[in-house]
C-alpha cells in the first residue's frame, strides 16, 4: 500500500492543524482532560481519513487487447444509450462509475492507444449522481484511440465534494492500459462513452475496481 503523491499537501495541512489543535488543548486548557482527548481523537480521525482517501494500493492489473478495463473504483450507476455532443456527436453507450469518498480515487486508462483528444472544462459542483453533472460540472474529456481504430471517450467529473480534478495527459500522449491518467479528490464519478453494440460485462449496481474489473470488450 502506497500513499498517493496528490495527498501530500492535504496531509501536511491536516498534520499542521492537528499540531496547533493539540498545542491549544494542552497549553490553554492544561487541566481540562476532555479538551486533550478531543484534540487527540479529532487529529487521529482527520489523519486516518486523509491516509485512507489518498491510498494507492499495489494491484496486479488486468490487461487485454480487446478489453475495456474500469478506469476507477466505484459503483456502476448508469448504463444507457445517449448522444455524446462534444466529440463524437452521435449515439454512444454511456457507462458511469460513481466514486464515494471511501473508494480509491486514482483514475486509469481503460484501453491502450493514443490520446487523440483532451479538454478541460471548468464548471459547477453539482452532486455527482445528478444527470446534469456530466455536462455542467467541472470535468475533463479524454479520448483514446485504440490500435484497431476504435475510440473510447471518458470523463473525470467533479462532484459536490470533489473540488479538484488532476490529470496527467495531453493530446498525442501514448496511453498505457491501466496506467495512471489522473486523480479526483474527495469523491465523484467517471463516465465512459463506448461504441453502440459494445459487449458489456457489467450491470447497474455492480461494484468495480480500477485496473481490475472488465467493463466490456472492443
Going from N- to C-terminal start, the domains of the chain cover 2-56, 67-217
Joined grid coordinates for residue 21: 489543535
| DSSP class of 68 | E
Q: Which pLDDT score, from 0 to 100, does residue 124 have?
A: 64
Q: Which pLDDT score, from 0 to 100, does residue 77 have?
A: 93
From 10, 133, 134, 188, active-site residue: 188
Handedness of CA 106, 189, 162, 173 (dihedral sign): positive
* Per-residue pLDDT tens digits for 65-101: 999 999 999 999 999 999 999 999 999 999 999 998 8
The distance from CA 78 to its chain's CA centroid, rounded to whole angstroms, is 16
CA distance 5 to 117: 26
Are the beta carbons of 199 and 164 closer than 8 angstroms?
no
Q: Which pLDDT score, from 0 to 100, does residue 133 have?
A: 55
Q: Which pLDDT score, from 0 to 100, does residue 187 have?
A: 65
CA distance 127 to 106: 20
At the topology level of CATH, where does 67-217 sit? Glucose Permease (Domain IIA) (2.70.70)
Q: What is the mean pLDDT of each run of 10 residues along the chain (218 residues)?
A: 89 96 90 89 94 90 94 95 94 94 92 96 65 70 94 87 80 95 85 95 96 94
Catalytic residue flag (residue 10) = no
- Output the pTM of the full model: 0.87
Q: Which pLDDT score, from 0 to 100, does residue 22 have?
A: 94
Amino acid at each position: 500500500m502506497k500513499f498517493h503523491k496528490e495527498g501530500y499537501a492535504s496531509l501536511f495541512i491536516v498534520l499542521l492543524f492537528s499540531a496547533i489543535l493539540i498545542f491549544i488543548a494542552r497549553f490553554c486548557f492544561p487541566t481540562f482532560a476532555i479538551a486533550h482527548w478531543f484534540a487527540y481523537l479529532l487529529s487521529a480521525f482527520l489523519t486516518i481519513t486523509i491516509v485512507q482517501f489518498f491510498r494507492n494500493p499495489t494491484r496486479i492489473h488486468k490487461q487485454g487487447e480487446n478489453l475495456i478495463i474500469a478506469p476507477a473504483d466505484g459503483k456502476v450507476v448508469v448504463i444507457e444509450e445517449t448522444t455524446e455532443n462534444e466529440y463524437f456527436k452521435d449515439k454512444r453507450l454511456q457507462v458511469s462509475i460513481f466514486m464515494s469518498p471511501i473508494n480509491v480515487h486514482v483514475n486509469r486508462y481503460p484501453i491502450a492507444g493514443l490520446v487523440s483528444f483532451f479538454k478541460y472544462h471548468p464548471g459547477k459542483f453539482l452532486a455527482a449522481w445528478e444527470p446534469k453533472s456530466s455536462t455542467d460540472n467541472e470535468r475533463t474529456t479524454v479520448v483514446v484511440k485504440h490500435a484497431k481504430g476504435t475510440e473510447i471517450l471518458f470523463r473525470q467529473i467533479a462532484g459536490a465534494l470533489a473540488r479538484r480534478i488532476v490529470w496527467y495527459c495531453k493530446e498525442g500522449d501514448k496511453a498505457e492500459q491501466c496506467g495512471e491518467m489522473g486523480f479526483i479528490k474527495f469523491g465523484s464519478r467517471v463516465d465512459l462513452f463506448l461504441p453502440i453494440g459494445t459487449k458489456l460485462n457489467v450491470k447497474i449496481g455492480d461494484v468495480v475496481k480500477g485496473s481490475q474489473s472488465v467493463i466490456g470488450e472492443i
